[in-house]
Amino acid sequence: MSGPTAVASVLARISQIQGQIGAGDAGTAASSSGLDITAGSFASVLADTSAGGTVTSEQGTSTWDIPWAPGAQPAAPSAPAVPATRSTTRSLAASGVTSPVARSSGSLVWPLHGTITQGFGPTTCTLEPAATVNGKSYAHYHDGLDIAAPQGTQVRSMEAGTVEYAGRYPDGAVVVRVRQTDGSVALYAHLQPGVLVHTGDTVKAGEALGRVGMTGHTTGPHLHVELTVHGKNVDPLAALRSGQVPGTSRTSSSSGTTASSSSWTPASPLAGADAELTQAALDRFDAVAAKIPYHAEIRDAAVRAGIDPLFLASLVKAESGFRPDAVSSAGAQGMCQLMPATARSLGVTDPFDPVQNLRAGARYIANNLRIYGRADLALAAYHDGKGAVARAGGVPDYPITHRYIDRICSYWTHYREAAA
């Protein structure tokens, strides 16, 4: 859709949505939330205006039970609360409902008060990636819950646990990831820089982690929340409503005691940032190339394979420390640590030749990226094999695998920040 007529149609549609959610009434919860048009609702605008449609009441507004976080002072709702009875499996511009209750019926704490703009599951939002879940393929799938709120709104931990990660992901999003006492992992994304916790910290349910920001790929200020159980994402909204993460058993009270290391669960799929070759990616690499060993060979291999050279450099740094003669205890060889059979299948005659090894390793990870569409799954398959990823239905639930992915993503982030 393009042209002045289309733009006018979109703007008119947005104005209509804003009117329906109370954008003109400063006393309503919707207007006081500082809601921006997010990816989901804007995609719905594009879809409906291109088809000549209009906003219906059911599309434009929906009421959800979103309690205030501990310590917050709720404003009086503009209308009586009407509990929602349908799932958020598509993009919604939903009006927030205030409640003095800090917790759900169980033990989980709502991370903030705001407006649900994107639910968990299949969606019409074209900005969300394709996914295959339980053997079924979806053109667009949202693996978390989006709650819009003004920038600076405090974000709280849903449950007690240990901070596994606090920092910036390769896509630029500032993220806090907490391993909860029940063994699940909660992820809070698009936070402002300068989060309030550090990796390794113990947090209590309701403890402040950071503030709503606009970091990473986001169309407005909101919190993206994910819950991961045994390597698979589950619906955060359903868990918050019930107060219990499905498929888990609590190992301790919410006093801050953490679960044992055996309940460690995977990193978030947000680790899957864009690793495609672009001019911007080349410019970033060239800006820091002087600090990267074998930078000319790495750049050449990445360009041939069509991937971000900094992503390849990060993989090589983690695999071999840029040593062409590296050999692992399992027999993996060279800069990209190729197993002999894999190297032969990729046409490598000398695995210790940097050029051959880098070009083969780049082709291998590039193929994984094309298959999975996400860097974290591509790296998991590189590390554990495609069979392990298929059996797990995602990133295998092995601590060593997630440390491997996090290490590469950390290198990648540092390179990108150094090039900025």
Which residues belong to the active site?
A: 319
Count CA atoms closer than 13 A to 76's CA, side-chain side. 2
At a CB cut-off of 8 Å and minimum separation 6, what does 67 contact?
98, 99, 100, 101, 102, 103, 104, 110, 113
From residue 207, give the alpha-carbon distance in Å to each of 119, 151, 179, 289, 343.
24, 18, 14, 41, 49
Separation of alpha carbons 277 and 281, rounded Å: 6
Could you give phi then psi for residue 307, rounded to 5 degrees?
Answer: -125, 165
DSSP 3-state of 269: helix
Separation of alpha carbons 117 and 312, rounded Å: 35
Count CA atoms closer than 13 A to 116's CA, side-chain side. 29
Which runs of E-coded beta strand occur in 21-92? Answer: 63-65
Separation of alpha carbons 93 and 18, rounded Å: 9
Separation of alpha carbons 19 and 377, rounded Å: 42
From residue 267, give the alpha-carbon distance in Å to each of 44, 190, 215, 308.
30, 16, 19, 22
Which helix (H) or strand (E) segment is 176 a member of?
strand 174-180
From residue 296, give the alpha-carbon distance in Å to each of 286, 301, 310, 358, 362.
10, 9, 12, 11, 14
